[in-house]
Amino acid sequence: MGASIGIVTAEGISAGLVDANRKISGRILQYPEHGGVADDLTTLPANKIAEKLAEIILEVAAGQHVDSVGLAFPGVIRGGVVEESPNFPQMKGQQISKAVCTHLEAHGQSPKVVVSNDADVVAAGIAATRNQLDHLIRVWTLGNGIGYGRYPSGTEIWEGGHTVVTMDPKEKYCSCGGVGHLEGIMGYRSMRLRFLDLEPEEIFEQAHEGDARCMDFVKLWHRALAAATASSVHMEGPGKFFITGPSARYLNLSMLHRYMHEMVMMSTLQGYVFEIVPGGHEIAIIGAAVSAAMEQPATVTAAP
Ligand SMILES: [Zn+2]
């Protein structure tokens, strides 16, 4: 592959140039500069977000020719369009790849711009850095939202973070507004909404110290992930599940395995494995860039 830029939007933006060996060359550029949350991103109008992304892409390119740009964005992304994005409601329906291309062309760059879901690029990054581009890769990203990344991503939706894991009508903390969702239990934001008096760190600490309310929640948190994973196993078969993201540090793998054993009883489906992989922007940037470089140009077919 030629030079490709991976750019990932989450709480902030991070971007880097990925070379033919699928390694980041040079430094990772971040907005805000030292990482963290960019408060202005959620309030910026859609055209300003596209302009900001183009600005960062041009800065990473630093004047050299770029073949492709892989842009990762949270939400349901299809054909370069953000169809749905609970965290960026102003982006709903936006043709983000077209908008970014227009800005880039004005500055003499005309790369292929491919937009992917932010969790799918983590799966693609794991596949690319482990030479497993021929494998099915599934990954849970545990952060403010809960992402379900799948490689290859295809044209399906795979909003696994919104898997229904409970029938309790009181379970309504998911950012999308849906009842009973995995993210409504596991998401960082959802945990803060549920425990108005405790930060997520304190919930897990106090569970460790024996607090009954926190212990019950920690069990629910693990059961929820087991339930969503069991659903994936029952739909697509067993295999390896990667887990990453800031909240992966709260994970107790033996507890997760115990609940999985209760939920997946058919012996042919029990060959599942979990692996926690370090977070960080690098893997997502590589995944975004590799996804863009591999994407075939869209074939235009005449209307019937
Ligand atoms: Zn939801």
Q: Could you check whether the bond before residue 32 is cis, i.e. omega within 30 degrees of 0? A: yes
Q: What is the mean pLDDT of residues 214-219?
A: 98
- pTM for the predicted model, two decimal places: 0.91
Ligand 1 centroid–CA 294 distance in Å is 30
Measured distance CA(89)–CA(163) in Å, rounded: 20
Ligand 1 centroid–CA 164 distance in Å is 8
Q: Which amino acid is at 267?
A: S
Q: Is the pLDDT of residue 299 over 60?
A: no
Ligand 1 centroid–CA 181 distance in Å is 5
- Per-residue model confidence (pLDDT) at position 87: 82
pLDDT range class, residue 219, cuts 50, 70, 90: very high
Class of domain 123-276: alpha beta
Ligand 1 centroid–CA 300 distance in Å is 34
Residue 100 CA to its chain's centroid (Å): 20
pLDDT range class, residue 1, cuts 50, 70, 90: low
Half-sphere exposure of 265 (CA within 13 A, CB side): 2
Nearest Cα to 190, choosing from 220, 210, 150, 213?
220
Which residues make beta-bridge pairs with 29? 15
Would you mind telling me the total number of residues written for the chain in this entry? 304
pLDDT range class, residue 303, cuts 50, 70, 90: very low
More confident residue, 84 or 1: 84
| Pair type for strands 272-276 and 137-142 | unpaired
Q: What is the mean pLDDT of residues 209-222?
A: 98
pLDDT tens string 172-181 = 999 999 999 9
Q: Report whether 116 contacts 69 (CB < 8 A).
A: no
Ligand 1 centroid–CA 88 distance in Å is 14
Which segments within the chain are labelled E, that is strand?
4-9, 13-18, 24-31, 68-73, 76-78, 81-84, 112-117, 137-142, 146-151, 239-244, 272-276
Q: Is the pLDDT of residue 163 over 60?
A: yes
Ligand 1 centroid–CA 103 distance in Å is 33
pLDDT range class, residue 143, cuts 50, 70, 90: very high
Measured distance CA(149)–CA(126) in Å, rounded: 10
Q: Report whether 18 contacts 4 (CB < 8 A).
A: yes
pLDDT tens string 253-263 = 999 999 999 99
pLDDT range class, residue 296, cuts 50, 70, 90: low
Ligand 1 centroid–CA 163 distance in Å is 7
Among 29-43, 224-238, 262-276, the least confident range? 29-43
Percent of the chain residues past pLDDT 70, beyond the cut: 97
Look at residue 28 and give its three-state secondary structure. Answer: strand
Measured distance CA(93)–CA(172) in Å, rounded: 25
Task: Region of 122 please: left (phi>0), alpha (psi -120 to 50) or beta.
Answer: alpha
- Per-residue model confidence (pLDDT) at position 34: 79
Q: Which residue has the tokens 């907005």?
A: 31
Ligand 1 centroid–CA 185 distance in Å is 10
Tokens of 56: 């960062």
Nearest Cα to 7, choosing from 294, 293, 286, 299?
286
Measured distance CA(132)–CA(152) in Å, rounded: 11
pLDDT tens string 32-65 = 887 777 778 888 999 999 999 999 999 999 999 9
Q: List every span in the chain annotated with CATH 3.30.420.40.
A: 4-117, 123-276
- Per-residue model confidence (pLDDT) at position 297: 55
Fold of 4-117: Nucleotidyltransferase; domain 5 (3.30.420)
Ligand 1 centroid–CA 86 distance in Å is 9
Measured distance CA(224)–CA(240) in Å, rounded: 18
